[in-house]
Amino acid sequence: MSYIQRLANEHNSIAFGREELAYYARHLLLPGIGLEGQQKLKCARVLVVGAGGLGCPALQALAGSGVGSICIMDGDAVAGSNLSRQWLHTYRTIGQNKALSAQAALEAINPFIQVSAYPEMLDHSNAEQKIAGCDIVIDATDELEVRYLIDDYCAALDRPWVHAALYRESAQMTVFWSRFGASFRKLYPVPSVAPSCSASGLLGASASIVGNLQALEAIKLITGHGAPEVGTLCSLKTGNYPFERFHFDGSPPTQYSSPVQDSDSVPRAVSPIELKQALSIHKPLTILDLRKDSADRLPRAAHCSEASLLEGGLSNFETDQILLVCEEGLMSEMLAHALHGIEPRVHYLKGGMRAWREL
């Protein structure tokens, strides 16, 4: 089964507690992420090979985004010269294995995810097992042999992987996925040797940009929000920021639609007519208007921001029904879906205030 199908089938079973909803509050407000995207992130399993200059920012972004299972592989120890660009490590962790150091840092960033650390580099003895246990691989190593190894096993196991390389102020990034014809071995049939950062120099800020781009590609692959750069080589000069894209092969994957949810597991869309009837008989109802400084509030409605609902919850409201209202109905619907798992009383006004005015 494709990881896309697995995420589509399993994400509905993910429920978030109040603290976790507050942690992801700003993600849930994004139309391209919302509750469904956050659930898919929680279901996802990402392997990051290398916890150095590219791995550290990629890992930090993946942990903050809420990827539920992160696996880190790195056989090197933290050195003082790493600290200017590998920001998950500190002076206190000098001498420790990088994978273990990064694991401790990520667990402090996000207590709601699982982080596994393997103090070894990917090789022929462990590649199949480690890659088979993940959905997506991020290449954060500067070892050419390891990249060919990732490409071979990801092709055999039908896994996409996000590649990046950085030399001084020049960087490249792409997504390889053999299913769509995009292959590292096809793009680079003849191995070539590039100088390491220890020999050529590197700014931590440059590595951070590229590592975060890798994390964004993984998030695209997981959530379906945005087209991943499958078969497109992105070239970036961090000194003056020209960004070029070269299509070499492949096409972006198609996201599977999610299974239909049980009607009891989702909030109800209350029509303007239903709301008018409920108000006419003075039905006990809490109406929360998400709009700020609006002059045309509904009777009995109170303003409440999206962030305060996600962070504070709805326990202060005692009525059996809570109705969320916004201008077009989109924000209230998305927020109601995000909160419904822990607060089944919450529903939303279909079409928002625009539909109400048209009554």
Active-site residue 326, yes or no?
yes
**Relative orientation angle of helices 55-65 and 98-109, to the nearest 10 degrees:** 30
Catalytic-role residue among 43, 56, 304, 326: 326
β-strands 45-49, 170-176 pairing? unpaired
Whole-angstrom Cα distance, residue 136 to residue 162? 8
Question: Residue 227 — left, alpha, or beta (φ > 0 → left; ψ -120 to 50 → alpha)?
Answer: beta
Gap between the Cα atoms of 168 and 205, Å rounded? 11
Q: What share of the chain is helix, strand, coil (3-state, %, to 5)?
A: 40, 20, 40
Catalytic residue selected from 56, 197, 234, 304: 197
CB 280, CB 27: distance < 8 Å: no
**Alpha-carbon torsion 103, 105, 110, 111, what sign?**
positive
Q: Respond yes or no: is residue 304 known to be catalytic.
A: no
**Length of the chain counted residue by residue:** 359
**Pairing label, strands 161-167, 170-176:** antiparallel
Q: Give catalytic residues, as residue numbers.
A: 197, 326
